[in-house]
Amino acid sequence: MMQIAAEGLACNRGGREVFCDLHFLVSSGEMLAVTGPNGAGKSSLLRLVAGLVRPCQGRLSLQGGDPELSIGEQAHYVGHQDALKPSLSVQENLAFWSAFLGGNGEIAAPLARVGLGSLAHVPARYLSAGQRRRLSLARLIAVERPIWLLDEPASSLDAAGQRALAELMEAHVARGGLILAAIHGSQPQPAKELKLGGGPGVIGGYMGTIAQEYPA
Amino acid sequence: MMQIAAEGLACNRGGREVFCDLHFLVSSGEMLAVTGPNGAGKSSLLRLVAGLVRPCQGRLSLQGGDPELSIGEQAHYVGHQDALKPSLSVQENLAFWSAFLGGNGEIAAPLARVGLGSLAHVPARYLSAGQRRRLSLARLIAVERPIWLLDEPASSLDAAGQRALAELMEAHVARGGLILAAIHGSQPQPAKELKLGGGPGVIGGYMGTIAQEYPA
Amino acid sequence: MSLIDLANPSRFSAVTARVLPWLIVATILAFAVGGVQTYFAPDDYQQGATVKIMFIHVPAAWLGIAAWGVMSAAALGTLVWRHPLADVAAKAAAPIGAAFTLMCLLTGSLWGRPMWGTYWVWDARLTSVLVLFLLYLGVIALWHTIDDPTLAARAAAVFTLVGAINIPIIKFSVEWWNTLHQGASVFRIGGSAIHPSILVPLIGMLTAFTLLFLTLHLAAMRNEILRRRLRTMLLMKADAAARA
Amino acid sequence: MRPLSALLVRDIRLAVRVGGGALVGVLFFLIVVTLVPFAIGPDLPLLSRIGPAVLWLGALLATLLGLDRLLASDYEDGSLDLLLTGSTPLELAVAIKALAHWLTTAVPLVVAAPLLGLLLNVDLGASWAVSLTLLAGTPALTFIGLIGAALTVALRRGGVLLAVLILPLNIPVLIFGVAASNAATAGTVPFGGAFLILCALSLMSLVVGPVAAAIALRQGLD
Amino acid sequence: MRPLSALLVRDIRLAVRVGGGALVGVLFFLIVVTLVPFAIGPDLPLLSRIGPAVLWLGALLATLLGLDRLLASDYEDGSLDLLLTGSTPLELAVAIKALAHWLTTAVPLVVAAPLLGLLLNVDLGASWAVSLTLLAGTPALTFIGLIGAALTVALRRGGVLLAVLILPLNIPVLIFGVAASNAATAGTVPFGGAFLILCALSLMSLVVGPVAAAIALRQGLD
Ligand code: HEM
Ligand SMILES: Nc1ncnc2c1ncn2[C@@H]1O[C@H](COP(=O)(O)OP(=O)(O)OP(=O)(O)O)[C@@H](O)[C@H]1O
Ligand SMILES: Nc1ncnc2c1ncn2[C@@H]1O[C@H](COP(=O)(O)OP(=O)(O)OP(=O)(O)O)[C@@H](O)[C@H]1O
Ligand SMILES: [Mg+2]
Ligand SMILES: [Mg+2]
């Protein structure tokens, strides 16, 4: 049983305040959908949780989970950029991240799962946008980590890909995983929602209050 | 009255065939929605029309329009990468492309139109994904060109942004413009559809035949 | 049959298969003749027997330069007509040309020891040849670091044409700068300036080396064509596997 | 005209924002010039003899440093695609980019050369001549480098390979540059001849460079 | 252990695929060595005197060339974010990257040095000593360079500015490297002293470099 709790988080980037006084609570088996208009701070929040951006106020705490690892070290971060090297083959790319992030060297299965089995030996340079996205999502399967931080994971995926992704996320949540996903429009599954860009946000019943942002 | 006609187009990339024997006809006032699964060849087709990829067979012809300009030189190409320099400000970025692509130096209005008026002086490095996308779409407004080649233009736009984009495209088509757009899922407006990834494709009644790919 | 038919790779390999044996024989004969002539060529009154190095040095130098010329012609074929055979010709010529250039450098510096008292001087002729050698290495590096052959061919073609500027520099370096290296005396306007007893064997060796180059080049081209066939077959197999 | 000037301004702006302007450039050469005495030991007559050579090597180094990003960055962020959809011929566009690169790397050196010459105790009169040769010769370095930059994009290669392709072509430029400079400093050989050849090389590369680069880029298209 | 070896293999692979392997590296140094005689004029005794210096300058140049991409490319494609979410400390990760850079740039030089020495007519016995000093000293160049690479990412700067930041720090390495080499070739000064200092510099930068780089990267986070 893990829990990520944010108390009064505030984030400044490039000197401008992105959001402030943000409270939320996500526990394993839950998915928190972070929504909001462009520039509301979704990516910033995810990067902040991943430890890639420093909060300028408030604290972010993790109950349960491995105490001597940071949140980021127990999390998968899938951002706007897919960390792929054009001159390495699809398989080499995945194999490296699997080894570096501490997966069990299993590569073929994840590739097949995201539908890149036949392209395993093609240089990543040759991949289409959706194929690149699929490859970076394959990390989620290749390496077992409890927390997923997904920034618009469905972007440039085709219908089939989006369905597969939704299943993947459901399965993870069902397994007791914990997901924070920044999404536009419809979420793939019923989930808590954290609307940004509408003043201070409170979610997840933390401090006993249910915010009006809670999904109707 | 312009017309882009493709006859038996085939495209090879990295030594493997992407699509072959593709026929379509788009004329001004129309929008052709290019759809298909990931890796079907949507982006390849758009790049081919823009003159950024060479067809290995077939021919692409433009009736009407400026005879001594290539299709690419009369077209806006908005690809997966938004050609922005992180160290230039939003305004500098747009101003440069407007000047280079031969627009009338009008910058403020386009920026306001895509909702970046307040960020005009922020370095592009600081933009969020959606803001970057908005900025590269601002080119469409800043420079008047009859042909638009849009590769998943709506990706990482919020709901409002997608609506604005749809209006923009409708207005362009109404003005007698001509759009080829690669899109996933629902098209923003009724349009001819060219499904890729299903063998040779024929569309637009070219050579008298209506293909089964024609939207039912 | 015309040159056009030759331009077809499979036709080309068929023809070369028939021509090559004869070429090999001709080369051997030419070397035999040239060798004998060289043996009986008189020693120079001041250079002594070392003058005989010339009979390797000059042809080697000549072919080192000529090979780049061949590559430049092929480069035009690649860029203008996008002809696969041109790519093959260019790729095959590079290592051979490099070898001849190296031979020229080595024999030259060996000769330089007795003549100039040093193996190497940074004189215009010598350096321009060294540059040629470096350019060869550069092209070879290009060919070997790029996996996609057509891409490599085009890049190498551009590079070859740019590098061709070096050829006149080599040729005329001796006229433009006062070099240690002696000027052209065989090929020059107003007839040759060498005594026939030297000139004849030199011509003999020139023909022999040229024949050798032809033989090696054609053979290398055939191998390259076969190699490409293999590659495409493998690619097609891979795609078929991917489809299934 | 307007597209080209816009491109020029943009590239200069980028170079200044990223590389840090002309002063940093001068500082760079200052460091190079101070490095050499350390490397070869403080021997004034020798220094003054190889002074021009050092400046020329500095110029070569500075040109090489920015080169592999000259077109690669535009390729990676998709700017190159848009440059191709512009109505300006590609040859002109890349020439302008090279010009911007030259203005931001070589010109600071040309200006600072007399000052730097003093550090290498080349006397002032000769220093002027040296910076004149630099002014005449550095364009060749940049525009030959342009070819390499285009090849790196077309081949998706870079780093040392680029240098390996470029440097041999730069050798003649270096020879005549240094020869002309030495002619000016030592006054042994006539200055005019080498200098004229240097100008010829620059003019030639001004034509060959952009054309070859454009061809390479077009060939590399996909 | 596995993460680190994976990172090492991947970076070496990238370097070879992009830069074209050790042979190209050797070719690069061959060219550098041939460049110098043009610059300073064909004067054999002088050449043999400054031969080691030339090799050292070559090493410096090669190190500089790849440096600004060393971390920047990982930053631009988002790899750096993932490197941070790995359980390996950042200090180690960047150290490994620097190691890969050293293996692919400096080692070819170390191996080829005796051969190159001949061209600069440094006699063979001395050449071995020179390549020994290179082996001992080049790590310092790379790991000091690592700091600059991290700064380029943190400050989103690059090009010449990076060189300006790095070179001054490299001067001591260069001094002692050349001193040790000259001691070996000329045999005037004792070889041991300079060589030991060189090793000390390398060891120090092996520690300072990664730590400083990691700090710079963390500061640059946003
Ligand atoms: C490494 C040193 C040397 C190099 C790179 C070199 C290179 C060349 C080249 C490129 C040619 C031109 C061939 C042609 O015009 O097609 C040539 C010709 C020649 N070289 Fe050398 N050479 C070297 C050393 C020497 C030495 C030491 C001698 C003897 C003094 C020598 C004597 C000649 C002669 C007699 C010719 C024929 C010139 C003619 O008749 O055109 N070379 N060499
Ligand atoms: N630069 C390239 N070189 C070689 N092959 C490529 C290149 N780009 C794409 N391909 C291949 O061509 C095919 C089509 O790619 P393309 O980008 O056109 O697909 P797409 O329809 O745009 O897919 P997506 O919906 O993911 O964007 C893919 O299989 C891809 O592997
Ligand atoms: N690296 C950065 N430095 C400074 N400011 C930044 C940076 N990245 C984003 N910002 C600013 O922070 C705000 C939030 O950015 P963020 O990327 O979190 O928005 P977002 O919700 O992800 O938007 P989108 O839906 O477009 O991805 C934006 O106004 C943006 O201008
Ligand atoms: Mg975002
Ligand atoms: Mg696409």
* Pairing mode, strands A57-63 and A3-13: antiparallel
* Pairing mode, strands A178-182 and A31-35: parallel
Q: Please judge whether C131 and D212 are an interchain contact, meaning their C-beta atoms are less than 8 angstroms apart.
A: no
Residue E113 φ/ψ, nearest 5 degrees: -50, -50
SS3 call for B10:
strand
Please state the pTM of the whole predicted model. Answer: 0.89
ipTM above 0.90, yes or no: no
Q: Is A129 on the interface with B (CB under 8 A)?
A: yes
Q: Which ligand has the nearest atom to the CA of A156?
A: 2
**What residues of C are in contact with residue B14 (Cβ under 8 Å)?**
148
Convert the pLDDT of each residue in B136-180 to its tens digit: 999 999 999 999 999 999 988 998 999 999 999 999 999 999 999
Beta carbons of C174 and C125 less than 8 angstroms apart: yes
Q: Is D89 on the interface with B (CB under 8 A)?
A: no
**Which of E79, E67, E58, E55 lies closest to E143 in space, CA to CA?**
E67
Which residue's C-alpha comes closest to atom 28 of ligand 2?
Answer: B39
Residue of chain C nearest A118, judged by CA positions: C242
Q: Is D156 on the interface with A (CB under 8 A)?
A: yes
Helix spans in chain E (H): 2-19, 21-40, 44-70, 72-76, 79-85, 90-119, 124-155, 160-185, 191-220
Q: Subunits touching C (CB < 8 Å, at least 3 pairs)?
A: A, B, D, E
Residues A80 and A152: their CA atoms lie apart, in Å, by 7
Residue E199's pLDDT band (cuts 50, 70, 90): very high
- Which ligand 1 atom sits nearest the alpha carbon of residue C186? 40
Nearest CB partner across the interface for D168, out of C79, C138, C161:
C138
Angle of helix C149-163 relative to helix C54-76, nearest 10 degrees, comes to 120
Residues B91 and B98: their CA atoms lie apart, in Å, by 10
Residue to mutate (ligand 1; options C111, C181, C188, C192; most atoms within 8 A of CB): C181
At residue C48, the pLDDT reads 67
Task: Kindly state if the Cβ of B1 falls inside 6 Å of ligand 3.
Answer: no
The answer to whether residue A211 scores a pLDDT higher than 70 is no
Residue to mutate (ligand 2; options A126, A135, A157; most atoms within 8 A of CB): A126
Average pLDDT over residues E63-69: 83
DSSP B119: G
Residues B99 and D83: their CA atoms lie apart, in Å, by 12
For all residues of chain D together, what is the average pLDDT? 86
The rounded Cα A22 to chain-centroid distance in angstroms is 18
**What residues of C are in contact with residue D161 (Cβ under 8 Å)?**
141-142, 145
Supply the DSSP string of C68-122, one letter for each residue: HHHHHHHHHIIIII--HHHHHHHHHHHHHHHHHHHHHHHHHHHHHHHHHSSS---
Convert the pLDDT of each residue in E181-191 to its tens digit: 888 776 666 77
For all residues of chain C together, what is the average pLDDT? 83
Q: Please judge whether C145 and D220 are an interchain contact, meaning their C-beta atoms are less than 8 angstroms apart.
A: no
Task: Kindly state if the Cβ of C186 falls inside 6 Å of ligand 1.
Answer: yes
* Pairing mode, strands B147-151 and B75-78: parallel
Residues D17 and D10: their CA atoms lie apart, in Å, by 10
Which residue's C-alpha comes closest to atom 39 of ligand 1?
Answer: C184
Which residue's C-alpha comes closest to atom 19 of ligand 1?
Answer: C58
Average pLDDT over residues A6-11: 90
| The most confident of B13-17, B196-200, D81-85, E93-97, by mean pLDDT | E93-97
At residue A105, the pLDDT reads 85
Beta carbons of A82 and A132 less than 8 angstroms apart: yes
Residues E126 and E56: their CA atoms lie apart, in Å, by 14
SS3 call for B97:
helix
The answer to whether residue D155 scores a pLDDT higher than 90 is no
Bridge partners (DSSP) of residue A193 are A33
SS3 call for B209:
coil
Residues B34 and B181: their CA atoms lie apart, in Å, by 6
Residue E39's pLDDT band (cuts 50, 70, 90): low
Residues B139 and B156: their CA atoms lie apart, in Å, by 17
Q: Is B125 on the interface with E (CB under 8 A)?
A: yes
Beta carbons of B153 and B82 less than 8 angstroms apart: no
Residue D197's pLDDT band (cuts 50, 70, 90): confident
| Ligand 5 centroid, distance to E118 Cα (angstroms) | 54
Residue to mutate (ligand 1; options C63, C101, C104; most atoms within 8 A of CB): C104
10-residue block means of pLDDT along chain C (244 residues)?
58 85 91 84 68 88 95 92 88 95 92 79 79 91 82 90 88 71 63 71 90 94 88 75 64
Residue C239 φ/ψ, nearest 5 degrees: -60, -45
| The most confident of A12-16, A40-44, E60-64, by mean pLDDT | A40-44
Average pLDDT over residues E130-139: 92
pLDDT by residue, tens only, chain B of 216 residues: 899 999 999 988 877 788 888 999 999 999 999 999 999 999 999 999 999 998 888 999 999 888 888 999 999 999 999 999 999 999 999 999 999 999 888 999 999 999 999 999 999 999 999 999 999 999 999 999 999 999 999 988 998 999 999 999 999 999 999 999 998 866 555 678 888 875 444 443 332 222 323 232
Q: Please judge whether E13 and A14 are an interchain contact, meaning their C-beta atoms are less than 8 angstroms apart.
A: no
DSSP B105: S
B residues 28-57 closer than 8 Å to A (CB): 36-39, 43
Q: Provide CB contacts within 8 A for C35, sequence distance 6+.
A: none
Residue C185 φ/ψ, nearest 5 degrees: -125, -20
Q: Please judge whether D69 and E159 are an interchain contact, meaning their C-beta atoms are less than 8 angstroms apart.
A: yes
- Which ligand 1 atom sits nearest the alpha carbon of residue C129? 5
At residue C3, the pLDDT reads 47
Convert the pLDDT of each residue in D28-48 to its tens digit: 888 888 877 777 767 777 777
Ligand 2 pocket, residues with Cβ under 6 angstroms: A 126-131, 156, 158; B 13-14, 18, 36, 38-44; D 222
At residue A214, the pLDDT reads 30
| Ligand 5 centroid, distance to B123 Cα (angstroms) | 27
E90 or D57: whose pLDDT is higher?
A: E90
Beta carbons of D133 and D196 less than 8 angstroms apart: no
At residue E179, the pLDDT reads 84
Q: Is E13 on the interface with B (CB under 8 A)?
A: no
The answer to whether residue A20 scores a pLDDT higher than 60 is yes
Residues C7 and C21: their CA atoms lie apart, in Å, by 21
Residue to mutate (ligand 3; options B126, B157, B165; most atoms within 8 A of CB): B126
Residues E40 and D54: their CA atoms lie apart, in Å, by 8
**What residues of A are in contact with residue B36 (Cβ under 8 Å)?**
158
| Ligand 3 centroid, distance to A82 Cα (angstroms) | 17
The answer to whether residue A19 scores a pLDDT higher than 50 is yes
Average pLDDT over residues D150-159: 84
Q: Please judge whether C138 and D165 are an interchain contact, meaning their C-beta atoms are less than 8 angstroms apart.
A: yes
SS3 call for B58:
strand
Find which of E75, E76, E153, E156 to mutate to test the B interface (most B CBs within 10 Å of its CB).
Answer: E156
At residue E17, the pLDDT reads 86
Alpha-carbon separation of residue D84 from A20, B142, D79, D91, E185 (angstroms): 44, 18, 9, 10, 55
Average pLDDT over residues D119-136: 85
Q: Please judge whether E38 and C127 are an interchain contact, meaning their C-beta atoms are less than 8 angstroms apart.
A: yes
A166 CB burial (10 A radius; 0-12, 13-18, 19+)? middle
Residues B12 and B34: their CA atoms lie apart, in Å, by 18
**Which of B77, B35, B79 lies closest to B183 in space, CA to CA?**
B35
The answer to whether residue D196 scores a pLDDT higher than 80 is yes
Task: Kindly state if the Cβ of B63 falls inside 6 Å of ligand 3.
Answer: no
Q: Provide CB contacts within 8 A for B110, sequence distance 6+.
A: B94, B98, B138, B139, B141, B142
Nearest C-alpha of chain D: how many angstroms from C130? 9
Nearest C-alpha of chain E: how many angstroms from B15? 19
Q: Please judge whether B38 and A128 are an interchain contact, meaning their C-beta atoms are less than 8 angstroms apart.
A: yes
Find which of E13, E17, E24 to mutate to test the C interface (most C CBs within 10 Å of its CB).
Answer: E24
**What residues of C are in contact with residue A119 (Cβ under 8 Å)?**
242
The structure tokens listed for D199 are: 């100008």
Alpha-carbon separation of residue A41 from A19, A46, A92 (angstroms): 7, 9, 33
At residue E41, the pLDDT reads 64
Nearest CB partner across the interface for E42, out of C121, C130, C141:
C121
Find which of A100, A106, A133, A147 to mutate to test the E interface (most E CBs within 10 Å of its CB).
Answer: A100
Residues B189 and B206: their CA atoms lie apart, in Å, by 22
Residue D124's pLDDT band (cuts 50, 70, 90): confident
At residue D187, the pLDDT reads 64
**Which of B118, B105, B103, B114 lies closest to B137 in space, CA to CA?**
B114
